[in-house]
Structure formats: C-alpha cells, structure tokens
Amino acid sequence: MKTDALTRRIRFAKPQPLDHRIEIGAADIAIFDDLQRHGHLPTDILYLLTKHKRGNLQAHKHRLTQLYNGTIDGKRFLSRPQQQFNNRDARYQPIIYDLDYDGWDELKKNEMLLRFCPDRRDPMIHRFFAATVSASLELRASDYAVRYIHEEEFGRRIRSANRAIALAGIPQRKVIPDFRFALEYIRNPGFRFCAVEIDRNTESGERKNKEQTSIEDKLQGYDQAVSDKTFKDQWDVPNLTVLIYTTNERHAQNILGLVKRLRNPKRFLVCSDPMFAIRWTVPRGPLPVEEWRDFTGATVNIFEH
C-alpha cells in the first residue's frame, strides 16, 4: 500500500492489491473474537481492545484493510456493513467492521465460536449502538481493575442461549434485553449482574394503543421480573441491575420519571450520550459508561462497589 510521510494511505493511490495468502496471527484472532463477542465495531475501538497484541494504530488500520480485501482466491475475513455509508459524514469517520465468512471459519478452527450467545437480528444501527456500549463497558472495566463477564458465561451457566425472561402469570409475555453482562469486583469482592436496554428514542415513552410497544412496557416487565425473582430462576444469578442507555438528556429524564412509578426503582439506572441520535456518528473512543443516574437523580459509578 502506498503511504505518505506519516504512513497514511494516499487517497488517490490505486486500491491495495489482493494478497496471494494471508497468515492469520494472534492479533487477528483477537479482532475476530471481539467482533464475535460484541458485534459491529469501528476501527478505533477495535484497536483499543487489541492494542496489547498490535502496538501501532496505523499498522492496525492497514491490517483491517488487508483482512477486508482478502486474497486473490476469494478469502475474506472482515466485512464493512453497507448501512454505514448512508451516513452523510461516512467519508470522515472511522470504518465499521464485522466478521465475514472466513473470519468465522478461523474462530471455528481455533474452537472459539460462542455457543450460548444469541444471534442479533435487529437493525444495523441499533446493533452497532449496543456493540459500542458493550465494548466500552469492557474497556472501562479494565481501567478500574474490574473483570467484565461476557454474556457467553451467562448462557454457559444455564446451558441456554435464550436471554429472554418469561414473566410469571402472563402467557407469552417476556422481556428481552439487548445484551447481558456482569462485573466482578476484585478489590471489594462481589458481583453486579446487568441487563442492558439500548434506546435510540424511536419508541413512545408510554403506550398509546394495544399494538404499540413502549419503554414503559419494558420497564414494567423488568420490574415484575425483579419483584417475582423470575430472573433468579431463569438466569441463575443473585441480583439484577437494569441499565438503559439512550441518546439525550431530556429523554433520560423522561425514563427516570417512569422508573419512579415502579415497585423496585433502585434496580434501574440510566445513561445518555448523543452519539447515536437520529443523525448518528461513529465514535472514536469508548462511550461514557462509568456514571449512571438513579431515580433520585444521584450519580452511580457501576465500576465501584
């Protein structure tokens, strides 16, 4: 690849030629695993997750391009979700990557495929928002010397990839978080188990008719699961905190207003950041995930126990 004096790819250079062969190393496997565990992620966050295995950001970017372009015999390890290019600022933002077939195949060869983490089938931007929050939580946990426990460990514990909580006494009613995780506190031993709801403010706050879903419905479902201790029976965990991540401060306040009406408001925390509003942008680093607010308006750092 032709580069300038700062090792940046020359914009008007010919496309990088395809390789005859790509040797997959430990740093590449780490990238594949992070994409498998979290979902779509941008260049910069992938680098932060794997920089202990690849020391240079420019080398990391070049390698991602190489893994995306693949080889002359058709092997391709990474893909770039096309929806990202509908964003008007796409040319000026980090590229978002996902696994392609041969990336999955490398994980299979190394016996690293997740068995108890359900597939995500929701819209790309919603998945990307959830993946970025998940990766940000893992990165910040390491800063606090707290162990981030991925959803795969939940499923392995109960031998099931089902993340839904069926609500007692209500046929066909369940709550399904966007993802789950846990934090293990090392200095002051203990665990916090969390269900995460990603809210881009595209649903109504309160239900207007029987066919419409709302944030209020979801909150009431989690509230019942806590009151009936259904989550303990179905997930085999001793406690549950529901985290709602949304896109602006005003909507966060509206959600907290709904939380105040619940029987167990202490179990809910809310955080907001405008990065994934209607005109969304690709983050160049972790989202703010340390400080959340409870129903009283007090700030809670989830990494402190």
* 13-33: average pLDDT: 82
Select, from the ranges 2-16, 36-50, 51-65, the one with the highest average predicted confidence (pLDDT): 36-50
Q: Which residue spans of the chain are classified as CATH 1.10.10?
A: 26-109
Least confident of 29-43, 90-104, 163-177, 264-278: 163-177
The 10s digit of each residue's pLDDT in 209-226 is: 443 358 899 999 999 999
pLDDT > 70? residue 84: yes
221 to 144, 194, 258: CA distances (angstroms): 32, 15, 13
Give the strand order in the sheet containing 190-198: 146-149, 179-185, 190-198, 241-246, 268-272, 291-293, 299-301
Instruction: Give the confidence band of 305 by pLDDT, cuts at 50, 70, 90.
Output: confident
In this prediction, residue 213 carries a pLDDT of 52
pTM given for the model:
0.89
**CA count, 13 A, side-chain hemisphere, 181:** 25
Host H or E run for residue 48: helix 43-50
The 10s digit of each residue's pLDDT in 170-201 is: 766 899 999 999 999 998 899 999 999 999 88
Which fold, 26-109?
Answer: Arc Repressor Mutant, subunit A (1.10.10)
The 10s digit of each residue's pLDDT in 115-159 is: 998 887 888 999 999 999 999 999 999 999 999 999 999 889 888
* 3-class secondary-structure state, position 87: coil
The 10s digit of each residue's pLDDT in 229-256 is: 999 999 999 999 999 999 999 999 999 9
Amino acid at 231: F
181 to 37, 250, 251: CA distances (angstroms): 11, 26, 24
pLDDT > 70? residue 10: no
